[in-house]
Amino acid sequence: MVDPTSTATAIEFRGLSRHFGATRAVDNVSLAIEAGSVCGFVGPNGAGKTTAMRILSTLDLPTHGDALIDGMSVVLDADRVRPLVGFMPDSYGVYKNVRCHEYLDFFARAYGLVGRERERRVRQIMEFTGVAQIREKQMTALSKGMRQRLCLGRALIHDPKVLILDEPAAGLDPRARRELKDMVGELASQGKTLLISSHILAELAEMVTEICIIEQGRLRAHGRVDEIQRHVAPDQTIRVRLLDDPARLVTWLENRPAILEAQQESDHVRLRVPQGDDAENASLLREMIEQGFQVVEFTVQQKSLEDVFMHVTDGVVQ
């Protein structure tokens, strides 16, 4: 089991580059992800995400630079890295005449698990991923969601420290996506480090502690979601709804120097203020109430991950 209190670097890129002829799929990327983090790997199609993930998983070699898992090079120490990594690709084989438990058992054997330990681990993973009730079912008869669960189970079978998930929510229905999010949360609580690529940014934002945005193979932004949101948007929007006349609140706000903008929109007031902290917002709300305004809603609206993505990237493909 991974130590949840560990703060060591789990994933590191050091000037990582991968060229295919004139195309620089990954172009001199350097970053570090701490153990126990859940990092969203975001970028347009063709940005280099899958290439970088394949290098991390020892399935490809960099043209220049290096990538490290738990301090070990994926190039020089590939045999030692592989037991530490679980990779769930965006596409994977579906084998005929293979039942669910046989599929997981095969990979458990490939990772050297034997006897009762192998049986225990297969059973444990089937229960965690929710496929225990269909253990005898043929893989070719599974729905998209169940195949995703089984593939995640394959990546987890050897209890890796680092999980690399390439578009794990692609093609899933809303319930299956919610269940995947719950599983990611459980894995994070165990102290595992996750690198997750996804185009479903709204749901990705609910899973991750930090994001890495790349475009044309280059790193555009990396850090905690709230830090990048503040960097992208130096001010924030607050929505206030009242029981009484919102026009009076607008007049009061316009006489306050800290308010950048205030305007009435139907039954509420939208105001723009410099980026602050919760204490400053709480103070503003308290003053409104002390002035006699009957506030029934006070909502601080952060920039979404999609807003951040649109701001940081140019929409250029290679």
Tell me what pLDDT residue 305 has: 76
Tell me what pLDDT residue 169 has: 83
Tell me what pLDDT residue 98 has: 93
Cα distance between residue 318 and residue 23, in whole Å = 7
Q: Which two tokens stand for residue 295?
A: 């506030």
Tell me what pLDDT residue 4 has: 44
Tell me what pLDDT residue 263 has: 92
**CB half-sphere exposure, 164, CA atoms < 13 A:** 24
Q: In what order do the strands lie in the sheet with 23-34?
A: 23-34, 9-20, 64-69, 72-73
pLDDT in tens, the chain (318 residues): 444 444 589 999 999 999 999 999 999 999 999 999 999 999 888 899 999 999 999 999 999 999 999 999 999 999 999 999 999 998 877 788 999 999 999 999 999 999 999 999 999 999 999 999 999 999 989 988 888 899 999 999 999 999 999 988 877 888 888 888 899 999 999 999 999 998 778 778 888 989 999 999 999 989 888 777 777 666 788 999 999 889 999 999 998 888 889 999 888 999 988 877 788 889 999 999 999 999 999 998 777 777 777 777 776 656
Tell me what pLDDT residue 316 has: 62
- DSSP structural state of residue 114: -
Domains of the chain: 9-230 (3.40.50.300), 235-301 (3.30.70.980)
DSSP, collapsed to helix, strand or coil, labels residue 217 as coil
**CB half-sphere exposure, 283, CA atoms < 13 A:** 7
Q: Which two tokens stand for residue 150?
A: 């089984």
Nearest Cα neighbor of 300 from 218, 216, 235, 215 is 235
Tell me what pLDDT residue 94 has: 77
Tell me what pLDDT residue 5 has: 44
